[in-house]
Structures are given as structure tokens and as C-alpha cells.
Structure 1
Amino acid sequence: MGADLDDIAAAARAELVRQLGRSGVWRGDARWREAFEAVPRHLFVPYYYVAGKGGYRRLWGESPDPGAREEWVRGAYADAPLATRLRDGELVSSSSQPSLMAVMLAALEVADGHRVLEIGTGTGYHAALLAHRLGDDHVTTVDLDPEITESARRHLAAAGYRPRVVTGDGARGVPEHAPYDRIVATCALPSIPRPWLAQCRPGGRVLTPLATGLVLLAVRDADHAEGRFLPTPAYFVPLRGVPRGPEPAVPDLGGLPPRARESELFRFLLALTRGRLGPREAYDLWEREGQPVRERYGVAVRGEREWAWLDDPEGPYAWPLPE
């Protein structure tokens, strides 16, 4: 990049850090602020796609148009997810919204010396933040697509980071480098893969998107984990390679009051129960329980059982997760 773009990138990154800091997300660990200050996001998104009336438009750091290059670098530091890879018009990889990354990283509560496994390498930016905080040797990231892992390696090297980048099925984890103190996924799954628990140290944590939310599990051993959802909504590209089974039919909400149809929290309940509750049954529960927030929901894994629950894993509201 030319000097002007370097200056624009530095100013845009500083503004992004100030914006994230105003939310208070780093109160527990200011070293994450240092990571966001240091890691240049634009190096991880040499191009990305923005939606327009006629479909997606590509912004590219090597565009011959100076105005387009400036738009690209400013957009790289917007607090927004960036579509980075399309296949037949379908989004298959993205760079997550920085504020959501900050929430997830803070929730992990890492400490010096912790080893982290990241599921879903994407551009490599999230892995770079982890590597800056913990050191290259303490971070492993895995993705199924060799094109994604190869480009992530290039991005990481360009930014000065060299965590372990593995091409493989994220649902299987990376057993050859286990155990891990933390496992974090940046792609959505329908349930918790058991290999993750086996590869996580007792007392470790697993943070993963599930049903438009983020569930944080405390791991007791390879067969037991339990935890609640964070308050933050989260929408991620699904993990490829995981058998998903038939998706439940989209429920017809036409007979429900607008406060339910328009409520993101009500739709979270529908997504979490995956069709096990009809719209009216879900609405009755939602109203009866005071329109519960995400933090009242959780997930438990015990032996062969895995289920989502409201308020208490042994309470009356529990729904099996897909095997």
C-alpha cells in the first residue's frame, strides 16, 4: 500500500479500537485492546464482497482506482462482518464482526500459557488476535478447505504471526496437538462435537455458536460439560463437513402477535428447539416465562445425552440436540 493508504488504515484501526473500547468489553483483560491495536485487519481481507442491488460487489486492495482502494481499506476497519469467499453465490467464509470477536475473546478468559484451538480459520484474523495475546506456539487453528488455510497462512505471515494452521475437519478437532485449555469456534454447529471435550483439559472452556447464540461450556471431562449462553446474538457460517440432517421447516408465525414475530429472542427459542416446539407452544412458553433472555438458556452434555435447557438442566424445559 502507498503511504496515504497506510495512514488511512492506521487511523481507521485506531477509531475501531476506540469504538470497541467504549463498550467496556476489555475491562477484564486490557491485553485484548493491545491485540486489536496491533493486528492489521486489512492484511487479512485483501478483497471482500459487499452486497448491492445487482448482487455482490468486490472491493480489492489492488484496484487501479484510488477511490476504490480507499473504500476497501476503510471498510476493512468497519465494525461489520466481511464476506470473503463466495461459491455459486453462497457465502462460505467471512471475517466476523470485530465487536463480536472482542466479546468472544473476552469470554474465553484466557491466561498466559493457555493453549487454544480455533475451529474455523477463515481469514486468519481471529487467530492472529489470539497469537498476539498468547504467542504463536499456543494457538492452533483448523479449517476444512485447503484454499482457506493456505490463504490464512499467507495473511498471518504478512502480519508477522505464525500460529499452527491445520487443514482438517474442525468437528474432529486437532487431537495431535491436544490438550487445549480453550476451544473456540467461529462457525455454527447444531450440537457440541464430542472430540472437543476429549481434547479440552478438565476445567477448560468451549465457546461455540449455536442456534443464533454463543454458548460457553465449562468442561469437566470428555463426557461432561455444561454452560449458558452469552447475551450476544451471533450468526455464523455453518461448519462444513458436519452431517446436518434435514433442517426443520420454517415455522409459520402468522398467527402470533407482532411482539413475538418481531422478537429476536423468540426466534432464538425457535432455533434452539429446532422444531420440537410449534410456534404456538413456543409462544406460550415464552410468555409464561417472561420472554426469557439468552442467559437463561444453556446446554449440557452428560454421557450420551446432549440437550438445551431453560433455567435448569434438570428443569421442565429441555430439548435434545441433534446427534
Structure 2
Amino acid sequence: MGAHAEISEDGADRADRGDKGDGESAYLVGRARAALVREIDASGAWAADPGWRAVFAAVPRHLFVPYYYVAGAGGYERRWGESPDPAARERWLRGAYEDVPLATRMRDGELVSSSSQPSLMARMLAELRVADGDRVLEIGAGTGYNAALLARRLGDDALVTSVDLEPEITEAARRHLAAAGYRPVVVTGDGARGVAARAPYDRIIATCGLPTVPRAWLAQSVPGGRVLAPLATGLVALTVRDAAHAEGRFLDTPAYFVPLRGGGPEAPLPRLDGLPARAREDELFHFLLALTRGRTDPRAAYDLWRREGRPERERYGITVRGEHAWAWLDDPAGPHTWPLPG
């Protein structure tokens, strides 16, 4: 178990004070973190498990984003916690506690890693439904912040395993976690393969977009385990029946994540020429297109979407059984089903 920081009345912990070494910074951290917790609280993100409120109040996000990038008219602005300009450092600190995703790693102008929007992280963690003693596998280490939240909630760092394909990302995540006083196991490897050496897992959570559900995750889960993962532009919560069978529905919230590296390419969305503007601009229609990507003609998808009354995400689900996986509307047995990649 990591040497977790103690929380003071203003919300700043020992790790915060050690990071900058002055009372003013600790005060700003405490105020900013408390404001973020209030904002997440007001969103209802952890309604399914209010125990996460104290966790978000305890774990310092700024230690996991020593720098990040903010998009602007002239490109990306780099905000850095070690800037010699006090005003720039304050902008970095305040930005670290805004309820927005933060771009943390760029390559040739392309985003390859980020720290997700805290309220979305809170919703996902609450829907993961962890219990004391659960072993959790996180796919996509990111900055390490999500792993720290899990370690704090479970009270035992050894119960949390995080995996990422990029050595630079896992190295940085370990460094950030150590700075905050947490030491879950961070593995460099292909997240689509899971981490068999640390299995079995009671819960698996992915923080990267998927084209399908990797079978290795089911094989590494206990029967009755829960898998929560972004797929299409939503979040699907699967219950694992056995090593070859899992099923579940989507949550009601949209979710956009960097794709899983090593998870296989996704087919591009089809052209929407000729469809009504209402459909072309509707987020729920785009979800249906993403879910059936390359496997349903856009006109047929539109006719179904209109006929079914613009179905919400919760009406859709995913079934994995043996070598087959498919998405469905209302009923896994049909009539509206679409195969997922193998």
C-alpha cells in the first residue's frame, strides 16, 4: 500500500505542499480541487457510488499533469507547472482543476495521450461498481491519475494494475504516481492482451476507445466480473459470464477517447450525403453510425433510427460469445444486430 497523503482542512495534502513548497500554492490547490469536486458533485456523476467524492477530494490532479496543451487560434499552448512566470504557473494550476480533458502528449501535431474530463472519470469509476478487495485492471495508463483514484478508493495499491503500450507513457505515469504517494503496478504492454500475469480481475476499465471487446479481457476476468469500456461514442458495461461470454448495455452518456493502440484500425464513418440535416447533426444518429461502422448503409441506418424513435444509448448493447461479438438494439437475439470485428 502506498504512503498516501493526509488531507488537511483546506483540501491540500502533504504532496501538494512538497510539490511547490509554499503556502500560497497549497491554498490555491485546495481551493481549486474543492471547486472541482463541487462541480462534479453537481453533475451527478458519482450518483451510483457517492464514495468517490472523498477520493476525488483527496487525490491531487495537478501532480499528474506537470504540463499539458491547450488548443488556441494559433495552435496548442503548452502550460507548464515549472514556468518561471508566476502568472503562467497559476494558469497551469487552475487549468489542472478545470472539469475538462487535458491533452498531455502530442506527436507530430496529433494527440496520443490525455487526462480525461474528471466528471466523466467519476461517472466511469462509479459505474465500475468496485468493492473492497476487488482486483482492477486499467487499460490505458494515461497520466496515472485514474490509477491513483482507484488505489485510493481500494486502499491497497497492489489491487490495481494499469497497462499501456507506450514506454514513455508508463514511465511518466509511474513518476506521477510516486510523486502523489501511490504505487499501483504499471505495465508496459499491449492493452488488448490484458495483463495475464496479474489476473484474475474483478473489474476491468478502459480509458481508450475500442473497435471491439478483446477476448483476453474475458479470459482474465472472474465470473461475474464487470468490464467498462468506451466503444463507438459511448460506454458499455459488460457482465462477464465466463471466459468466452459477456453481455451488457451502454450507459446514457456520450464518451470520446483516444483509440486503443494495438486494438486494430476502425473503418471510417460513411458519407451522409442526401440524409436530412436533422440526422446528420444528431449525436445519437452518429452513435448508431459509429456502432455499425461500415456494416450498415447510412440510409438504412437512418430509416431504422427514425422508425425506432431516435433510440437513446441505453437501448443498445454488446454481446460477446465465443468467436462472435455483436452490437444490438433492444434484444441480443435481434432483429436489429450488427457484427463487431473479431
Q: Same fold by TM (over 0.5)?
A: yes
Aligned residue for 2:4?
Answer: none
Which of 133, 137, 151 in structure 2 is aligned with 1:131? 151
- The one-letter amino acid paired with 2:287 is F
Q: Could you give the per-residue CA deviations for residues 101-131 of structure 1, whole angstroms, max 9, x where no partner exists?
A: 0010010111111110000000000000000
Alignment of 1:19-38 (within 5 A): 19-38=39-58
Aligned residue for 1:152?
Answer: 173
Q: Could you give the per-residue CA deviations for residues 64-93 of structure 1, whole angstroms, max 9, x where no partner exists?
A: 111111110000010000000001111000
Which of 36, 59, 78 in structure 2 is aligned with 1:58? 78
Task: Give ranges in structure 2 of 5+ residues lacking alignment.
Answer: 1-19
Aligned residue for 1:101?
Answer: 121
- State the alpha-carbon separation in 1 of the partners of residues 297 and 32 from structure 2: 46
- State the alpha-carbon separation in 2 of the partners of residues 252 and 165 from structure 1: 40
Task: Give ranges in structure 1 of 5+ residues lacking alignment.
Answer: none
Aligned residue for 1:314?
Answer: 333
Q: Could you give the per-residue CA deviations for residues 228-272 of structure 1, whole angstroms, max 9, x where no partner exists?
A: 00011000001112232xx43442223222221111000000000
Give structure 1 regions of 4+ aligned residues with deviation exceeding 4 angstroms: none
Alignment of 1:179-190 (within 5 A): 179-190=200-211
Which of 200, 211, 220 in structure 2 is aligned with 1:199? 220
Aligned residue for 1:114?
Answer: 134
Aligned residue for 2:101?
Answer: 81
- The one-letter amino acid paired with 2:135 is R
- State the alpha-carbon separation in 2 of the partners of residues 68 and 74 from structure 1: 10
Bigger mean CA offset, 27-36 vs 189-198 = 27-36
- State the alpha-carbon separation in 1 of the partners of residues 324 and 264 from structure 2: 18
Which of 308, 319, 333 in structure 2 is aligned with 1:289? 308
Aligned residue for 1:212?
Answer: 233
- State the alpha-carbon separation in 2 of the partners of residues 302 and 279 from structure 1: 27
- The one-letter amino acid paired with 1:19 is E
1:13 aligns with 2:33: yes
SS in 1 for 2:228: strand
Aligned residue for 1:174?
Answer: 195
CA-atom RMSD in angstroms: 1.0
- State the alpha-carbon separation in 1 of the partners of residues 268 and 249 from structure 2: 26
Identical-pair percentage:
73
Which of 66, 73, 77 in structure 2 is aligned with 1:46? 66
How many equivalent pairs are there?
Answer: 321
- State the alpha-carbon separation in 1 of the partners of residues 250 and 50 from structure 2: 23
